C-alpha cells in the first residue's frame, strides 16, 4: 500500500485508493524521447506532481484564468438538467485534480459511488478525502494513473455492474493534439462501455490577448507551474536544470487553434538529465503543453471521429465555454478526422 493510500485509510471515513502510477523508468524513457524531438516537448502530465497540482489550483484562482469560474458556474446552474440527461450511474472523473467541480453533479445525481482518476497520488488522496467529507453518503474510489494510457478500469466492487458516466472538465482534452484527442475519446468509449456517457468541458477560441493572459497570469503562477517541471526532473531523474535560466512563454497559434506553453532557454547551456547531456541554445524552447480550442462544430466533428454523437450542449452566457454530453455512436460508425484544427 502506498503512503497516500495508508493516509486515506487512517481518515475518519475510508476511501479506497488504487495506485497505478507510471514507474520512474517510464518517465525516463519519455523524457529521452521528448528531449530528442525537434522542437523539444514533454508530456503535459509531467507537470502534475503534488507541487504542480498545488500550483495549478492557484492558477485556477487567478482572474485571468476565467475557465474554472466559468465552468463551475455553468455546472452549478445546469447540474439538474445535466443529471437528467446523463441518467443513473457512477461518475468517473478523468484528471480529477482537486475534485471540486463535480460536487453540483453529485448533488443532482445522488450516485451509488464516485471514481476519481488522477496522476498525483498525494493530491488524489487529499482530494478524495475532502470530497467524501462534503458528500459523506457517496463511496469514493481514487485511481492513481495516467488516464491517457489506461486501457481498462481495474476491477473493484464500486464498479461492478454499474453504468459509467464519464466526466472530463476543464477543457483538458485540449492538451492533446487532435489525432491524440480522437484516440483518447475512443479510449474513453472503451472504458465507459456501450451504455456509458461522457460529459466533457471544451474551451472555445477567442481573442489572442485574452487567451495569452489566461495562460500567463500577472501573479506568475503559470510560470511557476511550468518551472516546477524542471524541479521535478532534477529530483526524479538526477537533472541539473537551473529553472532561472529558462523564461516562461505562452502564445496563441491561430493556424492550430491552440495556446503553446514553453520554457525558453535564456542562454547557451548544457543540462544533464536521465544520465545524458542535453545542449540548449539561447532562445530554444522546451514545450511543456498545448491547449487546443474548439468551437462547437469543430468539437462535434472531433467527437464523431472517435465514435461519439452529440446529445446535448450547455454554454456560458458569452458562449465561450461549453459542456458537451456525448453518447456512443452505433458500432462501426466512425467519421474521419482532420490532422489539425
Rounded Cα distance between 44 and 308, Å, is 25
User: Which of 190, 148, 185 lies closest to 294 in space, CA to CA?
Assistant: 185
Environment class of 209 (CB within 10 Å of its CB; exposed 0-12, middle 13-18, buried 19+): exposed
> What confidence tier does 149 reach under pLDDT thresholds 50, 70, 90?
confident
Q: For the chain, what are the domain ranges?
A: 3-22+61-206+294-328, 24-47+208-292
| Average pLDDT over every residue of 77-84 | 98
Q: What is the pLDDT of residues 249-288, one digit of tens each?
A: 999 999 999 999 999 999 999 999 999 999 999 999 999 9
Query: What pLDDT, on the 0 to 100 scale, is given for residue 10?
Result: 39
User: Which of 58, 55, 32, 59 lies closest to 233 in space, CA to CA?
Assistant: 32
- What's the CATH code, domain 3-22+61-206+294-328? 3.40.50.150
Q: Is 275 left (phi over 0), alpha (psi -120 to 50) or beta?
A: left
> What confidence tier does 77 reach under pLDDT thresholds 50, 70, 90?
very high
Q: Which of 27-31, 147-151, 328-332 has the lowest mean pLDDT?
A: 328-332
Burial string for 149-183 (b: 16+ CB within 10 Å, else e) reads ebeebeeeeebeebbbbbbbbbbbbbbbbbeebbe
Percent of the chain with pLDDT over 90: 82
Task: Give the Cβ contact number of residue 78 at 10 Å.
Answer: 18
> What confidence tier does 183 reach under pLDDT thresholds 50, 70, 90?
very high
Amino acid at each position: 500500500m502506498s503512503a497516500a493510500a495508508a493516509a486515506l485509510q487512517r481518515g475518519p471515513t475510508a476511501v479506497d485508493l488504487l495506485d497505478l502510477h507510471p514507474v520512474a523508468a517510464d518517465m525516463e524513457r519519455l523524457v529521452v524521447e521528448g528531449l530528442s524531438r525537434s522542437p523539444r516537448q514533454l508530456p503535459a502530465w509531467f507537470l502534475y506532481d503534488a507541487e504542480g497540482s498545488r500550483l495549478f489550483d492557484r492558477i485556477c484562482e487567478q482572474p485571468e484564468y476565467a475557465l474554472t469560474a466559468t465552468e463551475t458556474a455553468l455546472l452549478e446552474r445546469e447540474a439538474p438538467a445535466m443529471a437528467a440527461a446523463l441518467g443513473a450511474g457512477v461518475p468517473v472523473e478523468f484528471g480529477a485534480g482537486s475534485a471540486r467541480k463535480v460536487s453540483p453533479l453529485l448533488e443532482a445525481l445522488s450516485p451509488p459511488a464516485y471514481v476519481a482518476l488522477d496522476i498525483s497520488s498525494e493530491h488524489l488522496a487529499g482530494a478524495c478525502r475532502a470530497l467524501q467529507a462534503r458528500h459523506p453518503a457517496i463511496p469514493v474510489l481514487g485511481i492513481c494513473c495516467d488516464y491517457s494510457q489506461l486501457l481498462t478500469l481495474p476491477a473493484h466492487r464500486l464498479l461492478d455492474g454499474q453504468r459509467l458516466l464519464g466526466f472530463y472538465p476543464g477543457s483538458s482534452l485540449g492538451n492533446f493534439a487532435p489525432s491524440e484527442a480522437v484516440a483518447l475519446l475512443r479510449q474513453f468509449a472503451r472504458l465507459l462501455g456501450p451504455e456509458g456517457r461522457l460529459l466533457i468541458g471544451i474551451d472555445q477560441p477567442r481573442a489572442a490577448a485574452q487567451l495569452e493572459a489566461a495562460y500567463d497570469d500577472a501573479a506568475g503562477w503559470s510560470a511557476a507551474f511550468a518551472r516546477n517541471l524542471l524541479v521535478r526532473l532534477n529530483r526524479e531523474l538526477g537533472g541539473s536544470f537551473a529553472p532561472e535560466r529558462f523564461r516562461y512563454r505562452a502564445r496563441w497559434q491561430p493556424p492550430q487553434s491552440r495556446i503553446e506553453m514553453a520554457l525558453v532557454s535564456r542562454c547557451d547551456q548544457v543540462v544533464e538529465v536521465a544520465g545524458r547531456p542535453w545542449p540548449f541554445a539561447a532562445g530554444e524552447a522546451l514545450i511543456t503543453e498545448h491547449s487546443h480550442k474548439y468551437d462547437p462544430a469543430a468539437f462535434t466533428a472531433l467527437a464523431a471521429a472517435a465514435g461519439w454523437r452529440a446529445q446535448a450542449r450547455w454554454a456560458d452566457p458569452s458562449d465561450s465555454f461549453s459542456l458537451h454530453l456525448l453518447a456512443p455512436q452505433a458500432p462501426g460508425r466512425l467519421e474521419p478526422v482532420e490532422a489539425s484544427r
